Amino acid sequence: MNESTHKETIVFQARGITKVYDMGEVKVRALRGVDMDLYSGELIVLLGPSGSGKSTLLNILGGLDTATTGHVTYREQDITRALDKELTDYRRFHVGFVFQFYNLIPSLTALENVSVVTEIAKNPMDPAEALRLVGLGDRIDHFPAQLSGGEQQRVAIARAVAKNPAVLLCDEPTGALDSATGIIVLQVLERINRELGTATVLITHNADIADMADRVIYLSDGLISRVRRNEHKKSPSELHW
């Protein structure tokens, strides 16, 4: 599978995605008909204010949640109609997640947090190698509580990429970090996208980050309002906010 090097290969194709949350007395329409494509090797930023539906979209792409209507195909496989077991396998072998609050397992060391994923993957990296990739080669035996926020997020990234996923889905990966630390994390993501060719979707509400993307998709009120292609991607080190 070396499609990842060909930019024209479609990884995701989403058509007419809607999502309604039933909150008992109120129904919240988080997505109201979204179409989008993701090409291999591409880095996309989903930009929008909070409540615009970007996390919902990401979760549906990643098989963490299901769409109310519409279809998402991943490499020609319709994941909106997949069974729970198929979705699990999909997440297990193809998708890497990075969350805003890292979601590390506090009782495991950095290395073990990565191993948790590599142990069930098909063709993983060496966990220590993944940690070196994110610049944490010297902190592998630290527990989450002994790491700074930026370091924790890098462990989370190492954990996400260590299984050699086809796509990396990052939900506000810098949301809980100060800007200097955030930039370090973005550098890591950019490097992984460039060196490993992993298609990456990155959610943020921070417009400055959008400049590092190949394409920027603007979401508001559950709809895509605009798509912008960056002719000149900036490197994360050129960003500031």
Binding site for another protein (CB under 8 A): 23, 55-56, 59, 62, 64-66, 84-85, 88-93, 95, 97, 99-101, 103, 105, 107-108, 112, 115-117, 119-121, 159, 176
Q: Of 103 and 230, which CB lies nearer to another protein in the complex structure?
A: 103
Q: Least Å distance between CB 99 and another protein?
A: 7
Q: Of 109 and 193, which CB lies nearer to another protein in the complex structure?
A: 109
Q: Least Å distance between CB 101 and another protein?
A: 5
Q: Of 61 and 212, which CB lies nearer to another protein in the complex structure?
A: 61
Q: Least Å distance between CB 64 and another protein?
A: 4
Q: Least Å distance between CB 211 and another protein?
A: 27
- Residue 207 CA to residue 211 CA, distance in Å, equals 8
Q: Of 8 and 84, which CB lies nearer to another protein in the complex structure?
A: 84
Q: Least Å distance between CB 154 and another protein?
A: 16
Q: Least Å distance between CB 235 and another protein?
A: 29
Q: Of 105 and 227, which CB lies nearer to another protein in the complex structure?
A: 105
Q: Of 18 and 103, which CB lies nearer to another protein in the complex structure?
A: 103
35: left (phi over 0), alpha (psi -120 to 50) or beta: beta
Q: Beta-carbon neighbour count of residue 11 at 10 Å? A: 22
